[in-house]
Amino acid sequence: MGNCAACCRGFWCRAKNPDVRISLPVVCFVWQIAMIILFGVFVRYDEESDAHWSEHKREKNITSDIENEFYYRYPSFQDVHVMIFVGFGFLMTFLKRYSFGGVGFNFLIAAFGLQWALLMQGWFHALDPADGQIKIGIENIINADFCVAGCLIAYGALLGKVSPVQLMVLTLFGIPLFAVEEYIILHVLHVRDAGGSMVIHTFGAYYGLTISWILYRPKLDQSKRLNGSGYHSDVFAMIGTLFLWMFWPSFNSAISDHGDGQHRAAINTYLALASSVLTTFAISSLSAKRGKLDMVHIQNATLAGGVAMGTAAEFMITPYGSLIVGFCCGIISTFGYLVITPFMEKYMKIQDTCGVHNLHAMPGVLGAVVGAITAATASESVYGHEGLVNTFDFKGKYAERTPATQGGFQAAGLCVALAFGIVGGAIVGFILRLPVWGDPSDDNCFDDEVYWEVPEDEESIPPILEYNIFTLHLHLVI
């Protein structure tokens, strides 16, 4: 028994070996081949992307090609796509020597995740009962990008401390967790959450934070010298911030209702984001000597308004309501970076590299609450009868549901998202603690050297200085 404990301790504590030469290729190949096989068995085009569309169009009396769902949603899809790859990717380049890992691993897991999401979400939402196959179209690929966002948020908490293989595992489990959670929230509870305050942000953040808690590294300050930004890496991160900020209206409106639904969701998100920016600058300036602004706040907390509008954006929350939500989120999120992240690291043993607790968890929860209240207080006088039915989809077996009940279900949805994030994160966290995934040692975190061939920097050998040293040598000789 003692022997076994010692053996176990040895197993868990053995020296880290961040060599992924076998594991990463194996994981990539095996999972990609699995995707191909599963797609071969299950995935086909839907009616609007199949070559039979012209027949389908005639059957359904659709008069024009422009009615194809593609034209309603493709511009929004491309904006969402940019958010996933450039937005999240570049936001994570802020560390001075982990830019390759930030943008590169983001690329890898998003590319895997979206395939896996098409399958998992397809089984839950898009299965054609006639032939047991998943029929995909533009809406599915938007949803796959959304699903991936949950895993990328989790990556934010772990940035610099995990291996690419661990990230692949995180994604492998994260996607089905997301799909089940989404199914329960959207279909079983019939909750509205078009921009995913609960489904994406709350889930993703708590999933990542719980994993980070389990992977806690007590000696992480051995990598302290690299756990910070550089001047240029901060500017790179602003590319990510701005593309997320600009395209968030598309994110929240991408899968909401045609017509006024998409239109309203875009406007509300646009306003909430603008409002977040001002309060973020205010708190950031207020908190520092001489009012100096901190790039970390500007890069992150300005986005909190978009997260918090994820549920309510398509509701009649009113323009000033959106501004209020953004106002509060900018404050809360910046405050989180100033106070809560250090507190969590010191007392709760949660190391959160990008501060996803401030950007996704708190605004996500707030957004869910705002959504529940807005739904509960909805009325026919504000929405009109048809508008109310369309917005909350009070049709079929939900025809009898009232706004007040809907508010309750919205709140229940938040609990589901939290539960999936925390429980799922705990399980996956323990899996990721297995000492087989090639994660870096504590003094080697936040360093691209571990997983990348890093070029020597031209700039670091300035010829003018070499010359000085040379003349100095001459002086010496003389």
Q: Minimal distance in Å, beta carbon 242 to a copy of itself?
A: 5
* Beta-strand runs (E) in 87-246: 127-128, 133-136
Tell me how far CA of residue 250 lies from CA of 185, 266, 298, 408, in angstroms. Answer: 22, 6, 21, 27
Determine, following the binding rule CB under 8 A, whether residue 221 of this chain makes contact with a copy of itself.
no
CB-based contact 293:311 (threshold 8 Å)? no
Taking the least distance from each CB to a copy of itself, the nearer of 355 and 429 is 355
How far apart are the C-alpha atoms of 33 and 460, rounded to whole Å?
43
Footprint (CB under 8 A) of a copy of itself, residues 288-317:
288-295, 298, 302, 316
> With CB under 8 A as the contact rule, which of the stretches 185-193, 246-254, 399-407, 425-433 interacts with a copy of itself?
246-254
Tokens of 100: 């390759």
Q: Minimal distance in Å, beta carbon 419 to a copy of itself?
A: 30
Q: Minimal distance in Å, beta carbon 356 to a copy of itself?
A: 21
Footprint (CB under 8 A) of a copy of itself, residues 366-385:
382-384
Tokens of 459: 């700039």
Q: Minimal distance in Å, beta carbon 154 to a copy of itself?
A: 19
Taking the least distance from each CB to a copy of itself, the nearer of 101 and 425 is 101
Determine, following the binding rule CB under 8 A, whether residue 359 of this chain makes contact with a copy of itself.
no
Q: DSSP 3-state assignment of 314? A: helix
How far apart are the C-alpha atoms of 27 and 33, rounded to whole Å?
10
The DSSP call for residue 249 is H
CB-based contact 176:454 (threshold 8 Å)? no
List, as one string, the DSSP characters of 373-385: HHHHT--HHHH-H
End-to-end CA distance of the chain: 72
Contact partners, residue 458, CB within 8 Å, separation at least 6: none
Give the DSSP H/E element, type plus range, for residue 153.
helix 138-158
Footprint (CB under 8 A) of a copy of itself, residues 388-447:
388, 390-391, 438
Which of 127, 180, 278, 423 lies at the binding interface for a copy of itself (CB under 8 A)? 278
Q: Minimal distance in Å, beta carbon 236 to a copy of itself?
A: 6
Taking the least distance from each CB to a copy of itself, the nearer of 230 and 422 is 230
Q: DSSP 3-state assignment of 218? A: coil
Per-residue mark of binding to a copy of itself, 29-68 (x: CB under 8 A):
x-xxx-xxx-xx--xxx--xxxxxxxx-x------xxxxx
Taking the least distance from each CB to a copy of itself, the nearer of 206 and 327 is 327
* Letter string b/e over residues 202-240, b meaning 16 or more CB atoms within 10 A of that residue's CB: bbbbbbbbbbbbbbebeebeebeebbebeeebbebbbbb
Determine, following the binding rule CB under 8 A, whether residue 136 of this chain makes contact with a copy of itself.
yes
410: exposed, middle or buried (Cβ count in 10 Å: 0-12, 13-18, 19+): buried
How far apart are the C-alpha atoms of 27 and 20, rounded to whole Å?
10
Any idea what the Cα angle at residue 447 is, between residues 441 and 450, rounded to 5°? 65
- How many amino acids of this chain bind a copy of itself (CB under 8 A)? 154
Q: Minimal distance in Å, beta carbon 14 to a copy of itself?
A: 17
Q: Minimal distance in Å, beta carbon 78 to a copy of itself?
A: 6
Footprint (CB under 8 A) of a copy of itself, residues 161-190:
164
Footprint (CB under 8 A) of a copy of itself, residues 223-242:
226, 228-236, 238-239, 242
Taking the least distance from each CB to a copy of itself, the nearer of 100 and 183 is 100
Footprint (CB under 8 A) of a copy of itself, residues 90-129:
90, 93, 96-97, 99-100, 103-104, 107-108, 111-112, 114-115, 118
Determine, following the binding rule CB under 8 A, whether residue 158 of this chain makes contact with a copy of itself.
no
Determine, following the binding rule CB under 8 A, whether residue 89 of this chain makes contact with a copy of itself.
yes
Q: Minimal distance in Å, beta carbon 129 to a copy of itself?
A: 19
Q: Minimal distance in Å, beta carbon 31 to a copy of itself?
A: 7
Tokens of 380: 């026919």
